[in-house]
């Protein structure tokens, strides 16, 4: 809700759908946090060696989501090509992380929660990407 309110205060014209933009930013921030927390939770598991790929994928996705959220929050000198590239990369990161976490979701609740956040983020970014492509 706060993201949408902040976007509404922007004094210049935003060429993107403000509702889709706010939804994507919120999903990106949520996903970044979930991936960071999931990576940390994986490090606490007894079988941490079996979770190396999951941890790496979590951290890559968290970084991608964080960077994309920040880029989407800036509109002065907007560059549609850069926005598209980041959304595409973030969608790929969310898909990979969601797939990886789903493999462990039966044993680790944190992976199940993270996979859900990744799927929601992938969807929100996809909708925004479709609106600008």
All domains of the chain in start order, with CATH: 19-132 (1.20.1270.360)
Q: In angstroms, rounded to a whole number, what is the distance separating the alpha carbons of residues 75 and 16?
A: 9
Instruction: Show pLDDT as tens, one digit a residue, over the chain (133 residues).
Output: 589 999 989 888 888 899 999 999 999 999 999 999 999 999 999 999 999 999 999 999 999 999 999 999 998 888 999 999 999 999 999 999 999 999 999 999 999 999 999 999 999 999 999 998 5
State residue 15's pLDDT score. Answer: 86
State residue 14's pLDDT score. Answer: 85
State residue 13's pLDDT score. Answer: 83
State residue 114's pLDDT score. Answer: 98
The half-sphere exposure of 21 on its side-chain side, counting CA atoms within 13 A, is 22
Question: In the block, which residue shows the tokens 């979770």?
Answer: 51
State residue 1's pLDDT score. Answer: 57
H, E, C per residue of 50-89? HHHHHHHHHHHHHHHHHHHHHHHCCCCCCCHHHHHHHHHH
């Amino acid at each position: 809700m706060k993201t949408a309110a902040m976007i509404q205060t922007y004094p210049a014209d935003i060429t993107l759908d403000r509702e889709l933009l706010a939804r994507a930013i919120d999903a990106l921030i949520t996903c970044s946090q979930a991936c960071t927390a999931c990576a940390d939770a994986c490090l606490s598991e007894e079988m941490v060696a079996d979770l190396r790929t999951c941890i790496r994928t979590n951290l890559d996705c968290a970084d991608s989501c964080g960077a994309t959220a920040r880029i989407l929050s800036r509109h002065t000198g907007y560059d549609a090509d850069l926005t598209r590239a980041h959304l595409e990369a973030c969608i790929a990161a969310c898909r990979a992380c969601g797939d990886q976490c789903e493999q462990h979701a039966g044993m680790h609740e944190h992976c199940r929660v993270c996979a859900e956040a990744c799927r929601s983020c992938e969807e929100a970014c996809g909708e925004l990407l479709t609106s600008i492509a």
